[in-house]
Chains A and B, each alone.
Chain A
Amino acid sequence: GENVEQHPSTLSVQEGDSAVIKCTYSDSASNYFPWYKQELGKGPQLIIDIRSNVGEKKDQRIAVTLNKTAKHFSLHITETQPEDSAVYFCAARRGKLQFGAGTQVVVTP
Chain B
Amino acid sequence: DAGVIQSPRHEVTEMGQEVTLRCKPISGHNSLFWYRQTMMRGLELLIYFNNNVPIDDSGMPEDRFSAKMPNASFSTLKIQPSEPRDSAVYFCASSLTVLGRTSGRSEQYFGPGTRLTVT
Of the four ranges (under 10, 10 to 19, 20 to 34, 35 or more), the interface on chain B belongs to: 10 to 19
CB-based nearest A residue for B43: A99
CB-based nearest A residue for B4: A43
**How many A-B residue contacts, CB cutoff 8 Å?**
42
CB-based nearest A residue for B40: A101
Determine chain A's interface SS by DSSP, over half rule.
strand
Q: How far is the CB of B41 from chain A (nearest CB, A)?
A: 9
Residues of B within 8 A of A45 (CB): 110
Q: Mark A81-92, 1 if CB is under 8 A from B, else 0.
A: 000000001000
Q: Check A93/B106 contact, CB under 8 A, given A43-B91, A43-B112, A44-B91.
A: yes
Q: Is the CB of A32 within 8 A of B91?
A: no
Q: Is the CB of A44 within 8 A of B43?
A: yes
Q: Give the complex CA separation of A3 and B110 in angstroms.
A: 21
In-complex Cβ contact of A43 among B45, B107, B110 (8 A): B110
Q: Mark A33-50, 1 if CB is under 8 A from B, else 0.
A: 010100001111110010
Task: Judge whether B113 is part of the interface by a CB distance below 8 angstroms.
Answer: yes
Q: How far is the CB of A83 from chain B (nearest CB, A)?
A: 19
Task: Judge whether B85 is part of the interface by a CB distance below 8 angstroms.
Answer: no
Q: Is the CB of B48 within 8 A of A96?
A: yes
Residues of A within 8 A of B109 (CB): 46
Q: Is the CB of A97 within 8 A of B45?
A: yes
Q: How far is the CB of B63 from chain A (nearest CB, A)?
A: 22
Q: Is the CB of A34 within 8 A of B107?
A: yes
Q: Give the complex CA separation of A42 and B6 in angstroms.
A: 12
Residues of B within 8 A of A97 (CB): 45, 108
